[in-house]
Structure 1
Amino acid sequence: MALGGDTGRVPPGVTLANWQSAPQLHWAFQHVAEFLPTAVISRGTGPVAEMSQAPTELAGIPLYDRTNGRRTTVGEVMDATITDGWMVTQHGKLLGEHYYGGMTADSPHILMSVSKTLVATVVGALVSSGAVNPDAPVTHYVPALAESGYAGATVRNLLDMRSGIKFSEDYQDPMAEVRLIEQAIGWAPRTVADLPSTMYDFLVSLRQKSPHGGPFEYRSCETDVLGWICEAAGGMRMPELMSQLLWSKLGARINASIGVDSVGTGMFDGGINACMSDLVRVGSLFLNGGTSATGERVVSLSWIADTFAGGLDSRTAFAASPRDTGMPGGMYRNQVWFPYPGNNVLVCTGIHGQLIYVNRAADMVAAKLSSWPLPEDPGKLFPTIAAFDEIATQLS
Structure 2
Amino acid sequence: MRKRTIGLALVGAVLLAAGGWYASLDKETRGLLAAMPTDADVLSWSVPQRDAAFRAMDRLPVLAKANRISPSPHPLPLPVGKPLVVPGLDQYMANQRAAGLVIVQDGRIRLERYALDFDAKGRWTSFSVAKSFTSTLVGAAIQDGAIHSLEDKVSRYVPGLRGSAYDDVTIRQLLTMSSGVRWNEDYEDPKSDVARFNNAAPEQGLDATVSYMRKLPRAHPPGEVWHYNTGETNLIGVLVSEATHKPLSRYLEEKVWHPAGMEAEATWLLDKTGHEIAGCCLQAATRDFARMGLFVLANGRSGDRQIVPPDWFAQATHKQKDDGEPGRGYGFQWWTYDEGSVAAQGIFGQGIFIDPKRRLVIASNANWPRADLGPQPAAREAFYKQVQALIDAGQ
- Structure-2 residue corresponding to 1:239: 249
- Structure-2 residue corresponding to 1:25: 50
Contact in 1 for aligned 2:72/2:262 (Cα 8 Å)? no
Query: Quick one: which amino acid aligns to residue 112 of structure 1?
Result: F
Closer/same/farther in 2, CA of residues 184 and 258 from structure 1, 3 Å limit = farther
Q: Which one of 270, 294, 301 corresponds to residue 280 of structure 2?
A: 270
* Deviation sequence 1:309-349 (CA, Å, 0-9, x none): 444xx34xx34xxxxxxx3132111100013x33x211110
Indicate whether 1:173 and 2:189 are aligned. yes
Closer/same/farther in 2, CA of residues 389 and 135 from structure 1, 3 Å limit = same
* Deviation sequence 1:12-67 (CA, Å, 0-9, x none): 3124426552221111111011222333342355122120101414332xxxxxxx
Counterpart-to-counterpart distance in 1, 2:304 and 2:100:
27
Q: Which one of 335, 344, 361 corresponds to residue 337 of structure 1?
A: 335
User: What is the total number of aligned residue pairs between the two structures?
Assistant: 361
Two-structure CA RMSD over aligned residues (Å) = 2.3
Query: Quick one: which amino acid aligns to residue 121 of structure 1?
Result: T
Query: Quick one: which amino acid aligns to residue 116 of structure 2?
Result: G
1:129 to partner: Cα distance: 2.5
Give me the identity figure in percent.
Answer: 22
Q: Which one of 107, 114, 125 corresponds to residue 92 of structure 1?
A: 107
Indicate whether 1:207 and 2:217 are aligned. yes
* Deviation sequence 1:170-203 (CA, Å, 0-9, x none): 12212211122343499xxxxxxxxx99333222
Counterpart-to-counterpart distance in 2, 1:182 and 1:392:
40
Counterpart-to-counterpart distance in 1, 2:117 and 2:158:
43
- List gaps (5 residues or longer) in structure 1: 61-72, 187-195, 320-326
Counterpart-to-counterpart distance in 2, 1:184 and 1:29:
25
5 Å-filtered alignment, 1:53-92, equals 53-60=80-87, 73-92=88-107
Q: Which one of 109, 119, 131 corresponds to residue 116 of structure 1?
A: 131
Query: Quick one: which amino acid aligns to residue 186 of structure 2?
Result: D
Counterpart-to-counterpart distance in 1, 2:256 and 2:380:
27
Q: Which one of 384, 390, 394 corresponds to residue 388 of structure 1?
A: 384
5 Å-filtered alignment, 1:238-387, equals 238-292=248-302, 296-311=305-320, 314-315=321-322, 318-319=323-324, 327-339=325-337, 341-342=338-339, 344-377=340-373, 379-387=375-383
1:6 to partner: Cα distance: 5.9
Counterpart-to-counterpart distance in 2, 1:104 and 1:177:
35
- Structure-1 residue corresponding to 2:34: 12
1:156 to partner: Cα distance: 0.3
Closer/same/farther in 2, CA of residues 97 and 264 from structure 1, 3 Å limit = same
Closer/same/farther in 2, CA of residues 13 and 279 from structure 1, 3 Å limit = same
Counterpart-to-counterpart distance in 2, 1:296 and 1:122:
15
- Structure-2 residue corresponding to 1:217: 227
1:296 to partner: Cα distance: 4.7
- List gaps (5 residues or longer) in structure 2: 1-10, 23-29
**Given the two structures, how large is their TM-score scaled by the length of structure 2?**
0.85
Closer/same/farther in 2, CA of residues 384 and 41 from structure 1, 3 Å limit = same
**Given the two structures, how large is their TM-score scaled by the length of structure 1?**
0.85
Counterpart-to-counterpart distance in 2, 1:349 and 1:115:
9
1:130 to partner: Cα distance: 2.7
Closer/same/farther in 2, CA of residues 185 and 286 from structure 1, 3 Å limit = farther
SS of aligned partner of 1:150: helix
Contact in 2 for aligned 1:40/1:255 (Cα 8 Å)? no
Counterpart-to-counterpart distance in 2, 1:12 and 1:309:
43
Counterpart-to-counterpart distance in 2, 1:6 and 1:389:
46
1:388 to partner: Cα distance: 1.7
